[in-house]
Amino acid sequence: MAFPPKTPSAHSRSRSETKTPLSSSFYAAANASNPFLVASRPASRAASPVKKSSSQAHASLKRQASVGLIRKGGVESRLDVVTRDYVPPPPKSEKRSRSQPSRDTRDRFITTRDPADEVAATLDLMSLNPESASPGHTARLAAATGVPLNRRILAYHEPPPPASSDPLMAQARELVRPLYARAGSTPGSGSASTGTKDRKISTSAQRVLDAPGMIDDFYLNLISWSSLNVVGIALGSSVYVWKAETGEVTLISEGPEDSYIASLDFSNDGQYLGIGYPNGAVELWDLEAQQKLRTMTGHSAQVGVLSWNGHVLSSGCQDGSIWHHDVRVARHKVMELLGHQGEVCGLKWRADGELLASGGNDNVLNIWDGRVGDVGPSTPSSARWTKRNHTAAVKAVAWCPWQPALLASGGGTSDATVHIWNTTTGARLHSLVTPAQISSIQWSPHRKEFLTTHGYPTNAIMVHSYPSMDKVAEIKDAHDSRVLFSAISPNGELLCTAAGDENLKFWKIWEAPKVKKKEAKDSSRMGSTKVGILGIR
């Protein structure tokens, strides 16, 4: 409620609020609102407004002014004594509760102080203030704390060198980083090898075979590598098999000139070969006898992809349907899966036959329950998972050999992304964007890696580590045109790719560990006899 008193003007009407909170109590008794009344004041006041300004009056007026009470109207109001409107009483210096000498209210931000004032600066470290303290006090304090008054603070004129100014050290640090990194955080650390530098994946093919008549169509699946180490390839309307161990080429099937083969796949035991045709027919061939065993018709459109599961051969059709054929029975069509609006271009059974993954030209990835025949042949069943993340045709689907729930799917030109799925939960675990259309994916049985083959525009083969998704290797321009088809050898070491440039190339990608190789060979041989020997009636 204390206003600073207005400077009294010459007007007699102006009222100066001169009552202040610090007014002495003896004014309180007076009717202070009436500035005219100044009764009951001590004798020190200069009572009467005299016209002449005596020095005494002056002094007392000054005193009055200093406590903020100006009697108006009198001559003193015209005296220019009010130079200070409100002078607070000298503030009591607060005693800080800390055990440090009392400070004044000076700024404690030392760094902004004039650096020439070192003495004060240094003493301020001890919160001494030589300006306000007496020299004797300062000296006593200095003696007590041992801080001499006369000192200089020196620093070397150059600033310290920045970190890693030594390029060699910086480089060494970069090279050594993988040693300190956590698993999966640095490139190549996800793979089993200790140093990715040691691995050299040859960018040139180990072997190149001629494949005249290979059709350059993204939606076909024209090569397969059987568990008996035989590569089957469809050139035009003929099927050739190449025995990897002997290098011998055998013509299995020769069809009419004007037709072509759309897909082929070896059965799990390598004894039988399924061939899909553009007219919807699926043929079954016996490889040992090199004879056609049966033709399964019924599809209304091209059968672009096949996948075996024991005695069940699944075919994906251009109309989007997937049929399961039980090759042992006369009525071969045992089930139909309708989940795609577009051509089915990717189809893969999981090794244990529990799930079937299918990808279509409608950009949809479906994962189906593998039980066949429960629901009945004509009842369409719905997919366990339907994933629409891809923005282009999903031709590349591959199941992970060491972690059965993992499925990798790759999209076409406008998508070019690999998604890794957990098929138990349906979750998308990882995604990897690649620079080109993905035509196939193969997982490595030996390392935690997978590779992708690409078409537009890089025509490359890329090897990635899992789960870090880091690029392990890239074989650029693996073919002169899009790498469309790929198959991996039963021992997991060689990759065979085919493209429209009429070449069949073999690449050494993954080295099988020596010990395991023997076991793998044994087991594959044993495995082939264990897994469903087909008996065809």
Q: Interface residues with another protein (CB under 8 A)?
A: 108-111, 113, 115-116, 118, 121-122, 124-125, 127, 148, 150-166, 169, 172-173, 176
- How many residues would you count in the chain? 537
For another protein, the closer CB: 157 or 514: 157
Closest distance between another protein and the C-beta of residue 274, in Å? 58
* Cβ proximity of 419 and 407 under 8 Å: no
For another protein, the closer CB: 166 or 352: 166
For another protein, the closer CB: 103 or 384: 103
Cα gap 514→508, rounded to integer Å: 15
Closest distance between another protein and the C-beta of residue 137, in Å? 19
Closest distance between another protein and the C-beta of residue 160, in Å? 6
Q: Which of 280, 313, 284, 312 is nearest to 299 (CA)?
A: 280
For another protein, the closer CB: 122 or 227: 122
What is the amino acid identity at position 366?
N
Question: Token digits for 63?
Answer: 């005193």
The beta strand positions in 255-384, using DSSP E, are 263-266, 272-276, 282-286, 291-296, 303-309, 312-317, 321-326, 333-338, 344-349, 355-360, 365-369
What is the amino acid identity at position 303?
V
Q: Which of 323, 316, 383 is nearest to 344 (CA)?
A: 316
Q: Which of 230, 227, 281, 277 is nearest to 252 (CA)?
A: 230
Closest distance between another protein and the C-beta of residue 92, in Å? 21
Closest distance between another protein and the C-beta of residue 90, in Å? 25
Closest distance between another protein and the C-beta of residue 123, in Å? 11
* Cβ proximity of 441 and 451 under 8 Å: yes
Cα gap 486→495, rounded to integer Å: 7
The answer for residues whose C-beta is within 8 angstroms of residue 194's C-beta and 6 or more apart is none
For another protein, the closer CB: 106 or 388: 106
For another protein, the closer CB: 89 or 159: 159
For another protein, the closer CB: 168 or 183: 168
For another protein, the closer CB: 176 or 375: 176
How many alpha carbons fall within 13 Å on the CB side of residue 156? 4
Cα gap 280→302, rounded to integer Å: 5
* Cβ proximity of 183 and 194 under 8 Å: no
Cα gap 458→477, rounded to integer Å: 6
Closest distance between another protein and the C-beta of residue 95, in Å? 17
* Furthest CA-CA distance within the chain: 144
For another protein, the closer CB: 174 or 245: 174
Closest distance between another protein and the C-beta of residue 405, in Å? 40
The three-class DSSP label of residue 95 is coil
For another protein, the closer CB: 146 or 195: 146
Closest distance between another protein and the C-beta of residue 104, in Å? 13
Cα gap 73→96, rounded to integer Å: 46
Closest distance between another protein and the C-beta of residue 100, in Å? 9
Q: Which of 24, 64, 34 is nearest to 47 (CA)?
A: 64
